[in-house]
Amino acid sequence: MTETTKNNKNAHTKPIPERENLPEHYKWRLEDLFETIEDWGKAISELENLIKQMESYKGKIKESPKKLLECLNLADEIGQKSDRILVYAHMKSHEDTRKAEAQSNAYKATALFVQAQKACSFITPEILQMGEEKINQYIKSEKGLAIYDFFLKDILRRRAHTLGASEEYLLAGAGEIAQGPENIFSSLTNADIEFPPVTDSSGETIPLSEERFSTFLTSKDRTLRKNAFCALFSTYGKYKNTLSATYNSAIRGTLFFARARKFNSTLEASLFNDAIPLSVYHQLISHVNDHLEYLHEYVSLKKKALNLEKIHMYDMYVNIAEEPYEDIPFEEAQKIVLEALRPLGKEYLRLVEEGFSSRWIDVYENKGKRGGAYCWGCYGAHPYVLLNYNGKLKDVFTLAHEMGHAIHQAYTNSTQPYVYSGHSIFVAEVASIVNEILLNLALTQKASTKEEKKYFLHVMTEQIRTTVFRQTLFAEFELAVHQMSQRGEIPSHETFCSLWMDLNKKYYGQNIELDPILSFEWSRIPHFYSPFYVYQYATGFAAALNIVNLIVAEGEKAQKAYIQFLKSGKSDYPINLLKKVGIDMVNGKPVKETMEFFSEKLKKLEELLNSK
């Protein structure tokens, strides 16, 4: 990596720009989905006609293999069009969440997406009525149905949790209502909540946003870290009743759907779709809890390295060494990522370069832009990546992470039919974290000084803290509050706050000072509105670490197996896809090995700190 120029003035003292003031080549090209909003409107009309056509297949698919095939093909066409309409509208609204028309279009697209699901909701119940023997006969007699073999057999697996056609229609219609809590949370936290400016150690006033908060927490300026921490969490605390009610609504909605489908718990309902054994979730929490002394050691080591009498949560994110490079231009970040991903092969690198040069990425923060980072897209079009790039090394890691998702999607969409084009989150996070680990390895190998080695070693240990320990804490919190709901309780904000603090005390131990204001942190976690999502970051890291180890040890053989994994989409269950790469998540071994890997890195970090 070549060293970049350091700006005298911190980039975060600058005002957040309006979107129109950003250069076009730093904005994603949504025109690749629809050239104009009028074209989007025409697609809606086309979709509405297809939905009407679907009506003619109700009660008819059992008549012949040909009818079933025609119906499934039409369902795929409806799915592709509704996906594209939805993705475009929501990504357009994310460009500036203040724009009412864009928000209205996003809601309209969601409503139409639900309508499309309702139109197709009779298919599964009717297939189940046909039974396994008849389905197998149809597959044998109609060549076109061969492509749907796994899809049809998975429907049969769901028999016990699938309702009749009329009930499925009602549940599909309730989907729009069920998205209400998440939509409210998003609007409140992205568009309505305003954070007060904060001051740094020199007394300079700096604007605060969710995006800037994460960067401020890594600042060497402890005054800035503390003030940002207090300002952000105290602001969320002002909305504690609203956010508590919103989250409770989301939890109750999840419980409604779980009970409607005759699941014993919301956890079982969430894991059932991808055939993830419940033991995987519980083992993760158990294995991490068994190794919490490693996290306690890490807190003590960090406290010592930072030379602090007391260490607070706002100190946990700052690196114990000086960042080797600052204010990294986005073009430089692209070069760094490409170099790091060489072990994945020329074909993989070519796809990454295409993403960089073809405006797949929306790079910089602007006023009203949705916070965070994500990769999204639809079948038949290239993937898209939303960033809020700030020029820090952590932003380079975010770029590598999201491009992992993007290339996973690109590989799958070019290989699989639409019916298997999606990804379970369980395996999607593997693709992104493999890239992060490879980036860390590449930067560590280039490190020439003790300070640089300390820095990148800390990056790895910190990634395990935040991706494995922290996300498992989230998973334990989530399990507890859903269990409360199943018992008929409606947790108050006091309950949420108390549980959050208890878990943080358990995970981080006695050597950290937990400020009372930390208790509001649960209220700002968007992933809680996707139930039992976050544990997959931890399992994904464990799987990814083991895959990287295989690629390093076996070279081309493991690389090819991994690329095949990226091309597999939903053609098999996630647990089986990982087994084909040599990773068994059911026995818990990858999580245990991750814990030991963390311990080894801690020892190396301590050796560096103690060496002269």
pLDDT tens digits, 442-455: 999 999 899 999 99
| pLDDT value for 141 | 95
Q: Are 43 and 143 within one domain?
A: yes
Q: Which two tokens stand for residue 208?
A: 């605060």
pLDDT at 1 over 60: no
| pLDDT value for 172 | 83
Q: Are 84 and 225 within one domain?
A: no
Could you read off the pLDDT of 39-87 as tens digits, one per residue?
A: 999 999 999 999 999 999 999 999 999 999 999 999 999 999 999 999 9
Last residue of a domain, one of 127, 150, 178: 178
pLDDT at 191 over 90: no
Is 352 among the domain residues? no
Q: Are 462 and 585 within one domain?
A: yes
Q: Are 139 and 226 within one domain?
A: no
Q: Which of 17-21, 43-47, 175-179, 311-315 has the lowest mean pLDDT?
A: 175-179
CATH number for the domain that contains residue 101: 1.20.140.70
pLDDT at 554 over 90: yes
CATH number for the domain that contains residue 263: 1.10.1370.20
pLDDT at 114 over 60: yes
Helix (H) or strand (E) holding 173: helix 165-178
Query: Residue range 341-359: average pLDDT?
Result: 97
Answer yes or no: are the C-beta atoms of 455 and 239 closer than 8 Å.
no
Looking at beta carbons, which pairs linking 595-601 to residues 24 or more positions away fall under 8 Å?
Answer: 595/287, 595/288, 595/290, 595/291, 595/294, 597/464, 597/545, 598/291, 598/294, 598/298, 598/461, 598/464, 598/468, 599/291, 599/294, 601/457, 601/460, 601/461, 601/464
Residue 357: burial class (beta carbons within 10 Å; 0-12, 13-18, 19+): exposed
Q: How many domains is the chain built from? A: 2
Catalytic positions are 402
Q: Are 173 and 240 within one domain?
A: no
**DSSP state string for 505-522:** HHHH-TTEE--GGGGGGG
Could you read off the pLDDT of 474-496 as tens digits, one per residue?
A: 999 999 999 999 999 999 999 99
* 483: amino acid identity, one letter: Q
Could you read off the pLDDT of 125-178 as tens digits, one per residue?
A: 999 999 999 999 999 999 999 999 999 999 999 988 988 888 988 888 888 788
**Across the strands, what pairs with 384?**
376
Q: Are 24 and 148 within one domain?
A: yes
The pLDDT-based confidence of 13 (bands split at 50, 70, 90) is: low
Could you read off the pLDDT of 555-607 as tens digits, one per residue?
A: 999 999 999 999 999 999 999 999 999 999 999 999 999 999 999 999 999 99
| pLDDT value for 323 | 84
Last residue of a domain, one of 158, 178, 198: 178
Q: Which two tokens stand for residue 45?
A: 């009309």
Question: Max CA-CA distance within the chain?
Answer: 80
Q: Are 174 and 228 within one domain?
A: no
Residue 176 has a CB neighbour count (10 Å cut-off) of: 18
Give the span between the Cα atoms of 166 and 157, in whole angstroms.
20
Is 603 among the domain residues? yes
Q: Are 312 and 438 within one domain?
A: yes
pLDDT at 9 over 50: no
Is 204 among the domain residues? no
| pLDDT value for 7 | 36
Residue 20 has a CB neighbour count (10 Å cut-off) of: 7
Could you read off the pLDDT of 526-552 as tens digits, one per residue?
A: 999 999 999 999 999 999 999 999 999
Give the span between the Cα atoms of 233 and 199, in whole angstroms.
16
Q: Are 520 and 589 within one domain?
A: yes
Is 420 among the domain residues? no
Is 405 among the domain residues? no
Q: Can you list the alpha helix ranges (DSSP code H) found in 416-521?
A: 425-446, 450-464, 470-486, 493-508
Please state at what angle helix 493-508 crosses helix 292-305, rounded to 10 degrees: 80
Is 45 among the domain residues? yes
| pLDDT value for 173 | 82
The pLDDT-based confidence of 260 (bands split at 50, 70, 90) is: very high
Q: Are 431 and 572 within one domain?
A: yes
Answer yes or no: are the C-beta atoms of 561 and 555 closer than 8 Å.
no
Give the span between the Cα atoms of 308 and 312, in whole angstroms.
9
Is 458 among the domain residues? yes
Domain range for residue 456? 221-324+425-612
| pLDDT value for 6 | 33
Is 63 among the domain residues? yes
Q: Are 151 and 275 within one domain?
A: no
400-418 per-residue burial string, b: 16 or more CB within 10 A, e: under 16: bbbbbbbbbbbbbbeebeb
State the number of CA atoms in the 13 A half-sphere of 252 facing the CB.
13
Give the span between the Cα atoms of 99 and 96, in whole angstroms.
6
Q: Are 157 and 269 within one domain?
A: no
Q: Give pTM, 2 decimals.
A: 0.86
Last residue of a domain, one of 121, 146, 178: 178
- Provide the percentage of residues in the chain whose pLDDT is more than 90: 87
